[in-house]
Amino acid sequence: MNALIRTVACFALFMTAHGGAAYQSTAADRPNFLIILADDMGFSDLGCYGGQIDTPNLDALAAGGLRFTQFYNTARCWPTRGAIMTGYYAQQIRRDALPTVSGGSQGTRPAWAPLVTEYLRPLGYRTYHSGKWHIDGQPLKNGFDRSYLLNDHNRYFSPQNHTEDDQPLPPVDPARPQYVTTLIADHAIRCLADHAASHADKPFFHYLCFTSPHFPLHALPEDIDRYRGRFKAGYDVLRRQRWQRLKELGIVDGELSPRTAGLKPWDELTDEERGHFETRMAIHAAMVDRMDREIGRVLAQLKAMKAWENTA
């Protein structure tokens, strides 16, 4: 992957420079794009932002690229995804509610706000989506060539409501459970491998959207085991340690924010309450850890197909 990890702004710069279907070049002249989204993850959960979770693959990307010190999103699913994929404010495209305008699942994106895929396809791009969607319409009708769409957000094992290329898939048998984070990465790797085999002359855009670590807290037992005991010091100590690391990294300044309203000091909790919070923190960490591992497999596929240096 290019030494400088670029952001969605690359789309605007690239399309402004080369504008429209008239642009002709080889695939090597056009960068591939891989956007990776996590769902409901605090930015400082990552190791490269001072967190206690092991995220070596994302840390390596940060080491070879950049880390934002000022960055804003809508902090919610529908509006964030709509903004990323269109380049408009969420309110403009009915992804966030206003006093007189419906938003989110009740809003309809205007026809003048197509997804970025509709701009990339005329430039010769193949376009792929893997994971959560939460944008109005269906992927293949919005400029994607391939899609694995997860609509079942209430479980991480054995999804019951999911589609491939806009067609329903059978529910996964609970007797042979499959973990959603791995399923999403598997689809991404299949798309990339097929791209290398059948469409190597074209650049690609891949929109890779994990549901982790969104509630509910579900993780693989072996992943949870790696984090048992790591959070024994309690959230008061851990959050101060993380804040101190963020200051040392030059990412934040100022004072530590107050503890969440209604949350008791750690030393006032009973042993049972402490055990409960320790377990929750371990499961959350396991979910992020597994996502990082699956991202590592996707990045390995990019290297194997010799697309690493031309992927932003």
Calpha distance 233→148 (Å, rounded): 40
Maximal C-alpha separation, the chain? 68
End-to-end CA distance of the chain: 6
In degrees and rounded to multiples of 5, residue 63 shows phi and psi of -65, -30
CB 214 within 8 A of CB 40: yes
Residues taking part in catalysis: 77, 134
Checking DSSP bridges between strand 33-37 and strand 162-164, what pairing results, if any?
unpaired
The pair of three-digit structure tokens given for residue 172, joined into one six-digit string: 């996964």
Calpha distance 263→293 (Å, rounded): 32
C-alpha torsion angle, residues 102, 39, 229, 223 (rounded to 10): 140
The pair of three-digit structure tokens given for residue 268, joined into one six-digit string: 């006032």
The pair of three-digit structure tokens given for residue 27, joined into one six-digit string: 């695939």
Helix 271-304 vs helix 56-63: crossing angle, to nearest 10: 60
Checking DSSP bridges between strand 146-150 and strand 126-131, what pairing results, if any?
parallel
In degrees and rounded to multiples of 5, residue 110 shows phi and psi of -60, 150
